[in-house]
Amino acid sequence: MSVFDQPSGAALKLPLIAFLDKQWERVPEQRRLPLAVYATTQFLFLLWWAAFFPGALSYDSITYIWHVTTGPWLSNHSVVYDSLVWVSLNTTGDVWLLPLAQIVAMSAVLSYCSVTLREWGVRQRWAAIAASVPALAPPTAVFVIFVWKDVPFVIGGILVFGAAGRLAARRARGRQAVRDKAFYRTVGLLFLGFLVLAVFRNNGLLVAVVAAPVLLIALPSMRRWVLAATAVPVMIMMLLTGVVYPAAGLKTPPKDAVYAFFYADIAVAYKEHPGYFTKEDKALMADIAPLSHWKGRAGNCYNADWAMEKPMNRPEAARRNDELMALWMRVLKRTPDEVIGARVCRAHIAWAVFPGPKELRADTLLSDPRTSKTLFSYLKWNEDIKQSEYLPKLKIRPLSEPLHKVADFSWRAFKVPQLHWLLFRGAIWCYATYAIVLLLRRRTKAKGLGALLAVTLGLQLTVLAANPAPLWRYMIGPIFIGVMILPLLWAKPRFGEQDAPNAAKPSRTTLPEPKPEPAPVA
């Protein structure tokens, strides 16, 4: 019998397609969405990784390698991430293993968040698209393949978003008092997300400090568990920095690096009100750098790096740090508006939608995946890096040249300055996240929705608290979350009575419990 004579519905399929269809049918329906998202994002990220193999590098990347190969190990960067760099170098002789691990982790977290969106009534196709876009768009996809401590930091923030959204959905369904395996698993992932935030950036614990009150208000029946998931990571990080790292012989960063923000505050105040400074104040400042420097480039409120450039005598600043900090206190008392204004100005990337003046380096500062010939100036002064056995590996070696050309062109096309406000600046996505959550709350009356914006608020306020310059990587997390939260504008969560026997009395607006997973087909 010809294939055209077969009964209706029996289409001719290639053997591979037929095999894949059969395997897909064996996957429980509830697991198809996260599996599809994981496979899609993993594939897309791998293309970017192959195009920029072994991974995109920055000045910080070379610093990590310097720390773990010739030393000394310092605690000014993430010690945990430095350790992962060491593992990659000593197992593969290269750095490619670390970006690959980041791809796997990010794909898993994005697939997890797609299910969170589904629980809030987002249709599966839109949940899948929203979770997959970050793996396709150059601004977010290229970020994931950088050898940067900021990448796992962002992964931790996205995981917090996904877990907090699951807990909020439980409250909306009237299951806030139920303590089942799903609840403990979600709280565990919330804890893991905050722990990753804490250990991969030294000020990451501030995100937990800001997000915790929001989560405690949004999830009142889960407060003990939420408090544990936020407070314990903070205590672990404090224990590491205060006890473990010093005991392990890790050196603390020099004071001129730790207190650079304070020196920049002094410069901004001096530029605006030089008459407020006494002869003793000026004498101290002149011993560190010419007064023309304090009143000139150093007085740029947008970028603290300018204050620390030559002719600033950084070793002398570190030696006389106590005197400089006493001066900072006097400046704060005399002109608190200038000090506060300098901090807000320096955190421009966190709250301003549009870039600032380019001549003051207040535009969006991007890191290029191309490796500079001088290794970001390291080859000009660092003998350890010049003689490193890993030096030949510290450059882009694409696995496919045509793929590299396409990926590099795409990255540069997206860098058009007129679109920085949308593609590279997280502030607009923070405001979009807050607006979407508020609109969903108004439309559905569901309680607990504040949990969906907790980590975004924490990321934004942390950058406002301490930030050296308008660097895009500090606000990339809200872009990931903002893109994924967009489908909530059209979400249609179904409300109904909760029939779980052990559930607390449901509110009038409760989401139904997801359908149980069907058994696999034999």
Q: What is the DSSP annotation of 247-283?
A: HTTPBPPPHHHHTHHHHHHHHHHHHH-GGGS-HHHHH
Q: Could you tell me if residue 80 is inside a domain?
A: yes
Containing structural domain, residue 312: 255-346
Nearest Cα to Cα of residue 398 among 65, 59, 47, 44? 47
Write down the pLDDT at residue 333. 96
Nearest Cα to Cα of residue 334 among 260, 275, 410, 394? 275
Residue 407, SS3 per DSSP: helix
Write down the pLDDT at residue 462. 94
d(CA 432, CA 142): 23
Q: Could you tell me if residue 469 is inside a domain?
A: yes
Write down the pLDDT at residue 500. 41
- Residues 160, 142, single domain; the answer is yes
- Residues 225, 80, single domain; the answer is yes
Q: Could you tell me if residue 243 is inside a domain?
A: yes
Write down the pLDDT at residue 512. 52
Q: How many CA atoms lie within 13 A of 47 on its CB side?
A: 17
**CB of 290 closer than 8 Å to CB of 315:** no
DSSP letter for 251, please.
B
- Residues 334, 467, single domain; the answer is no
- Residues 152, 236, single domain; the answer is yes
Q: Both tokens of residue 415?
A: 């860098």
Write down the pLDDT at residue 8. 46
Within 10 angstroms of residue 420's Cβ, the number of other Cβ atoms is 19
- Residues 482, 436, single domain; the answer is yes
- The number of domains in the chain is 2
Q: Could you tell me if residue 158 is inside a domain?
A: yes
**CB of 504 closer than 8 Å to CB of 131:** no
Among 284, 317, 346, give the residue marking a domain's end: 346
Mean pLDDT by 10 residues, the chain (522 residues): 45 69 80 96 98 96 94 88 97 97 98 97 96 98 98 98 97 92 97 98 93 97 96 96 92 89 96 95 96 94 93 96 97 96 95 94 93 92 93 95 97 95 97 97 93 97 91 96 97 61 43 51 40
CA distances from 477 to 17, 153, 162, 351, 410 (A): 37, 9, 13, 14, 21
**CB of 227 closer than 8 Å to CB of 215:** no
Residue 265, judged by CB atoms within 10 A of its CB (0-12, 13-18, 19+), counts as buried
Tokens 């544990």: give the residue. 228
d(CA 53, CA 302): 34
Q: Could you tell me if residue 11 is inside a domain?
A: no
Write down the pLDDT at residue 26. 81
The amino acid that residue 201 corresponds to is: R
Tokens 């405001």: give the residue. 431
* Total residues belonging to the chain: 522
d(CA 191, CA 197): 10
- Residues 222, 119, single domain; the answer is yes
Q: Could you tell me if residue 454 is inside a domain?
A: yes
Note the maximum CA span of the chain: 103
Nearest Cα to Cα of residue 385 among 68, 173, 165? 68
Q: Considering Cα of 387, then 388, then 390, then 391, what sign does the dihedral take?
A: negative
- Residues 264, 231, single domain; the answer is no
Q: Both tokens of residue 204?
A: 């990451």
- Residues 243, 337, single domain; the answer is no
Write down the pLDDT at residue 514. 54
Residue 365, SS3 per DSSP: strand
Tokens 């600032």: give the residue. 356
